[in-house]
Amino acid sequence: MVCVRCKMVVQDELSKLGLHPIKIELGEAEIQEEITNEYLSILNTNLQKSGLEILKDNKNILAEKIKAAIIELVWENDAKLRMNLSDYLSEKLNYNYTYLNNVFYKTQGLSIEKYMIAQKIERVKELLAYNELNLTEISYKMNYSSVAHLSNQFKKITGMNATEYRLISYANRKSIDRIM
């Protein structure tokens, strides 16, 4: 579960089963009741209809927590983008970054760094589409070392430069839970 829509779906499905969530965060839900296998199965079936699933494997759960932390960092906490990614994730998830990256790579097929870049470029696309900031301002906001670094990374990922992208606006945007 990596987006607000996902949290709402989980909340709704838990409520339909008469379950009372204590908290629903990106990637996890805690409920008051002990859940039976029957309810767990029903919940999983209902969540799958919305493209979600209940993860039981600890490594997949950790990978989802990594995704949620990166999404929070890129999409909600611009100031924290100034932190070193490995330090941020290690502190937030209480694991060594090398272990986190190994788990992420084994479960997702790409490194944490590549996932972070994909999220940042998607956010840059959004900022370009809004047409409120120039490329220098976007570069600073997204914590790129220079406009040239952002431009090179943008071109490598999208196949076009930022100016070309602004002209086509939203055409190549992805929802944040579909970025890989």
Of residues 130, 136, 135, the one with CA closest to residue 173: 130
139, 120: one domain: yes
Q: Do 122 and 104 lie in a common domain?
A: no
Residue given tokens 């908290």 in the structure block: 23
Higher pLDDT, 6 or 32: 32
The predicted structure's pLDDT at residue 170: 54
Note if the pTM is more than 0.95: no
pLDDT of residue 142: 94
Stretch 91-104: mean pLDDT: 96
Co-location of 122 and 170 in the same domain: yes
The Cα–Cα gap between 66 and 121 comes to: 18
Split into its structural domains, the chain has a count of: 3
Q: How confident is the model at residue 126 (pLDDT cuts 50, 70, 90)?
A: very high
Query: What is the domain extent for residue 82?
Result: 58-111
Residue 102 has pLDDT above 50, yes or no: yes
- Do 81 and 135 belong together in one domain? no
Report the alpha-carbon distance of residue 147 to residue 136 in Å, rounded: 6
Q: Which of 67, 95, 111 is the last residue of a domain?
A: 111
Tens digits of per-residue pLDDT, 47-89?
Answer: 889 888 887 788 988 999 999 899 989 988 766 677 899 999 9
What mean pLDDT do residues 95-103 have?
Answer: 97
CB under 8 Å to 110, separation ≥6 — which residues? 104, 180
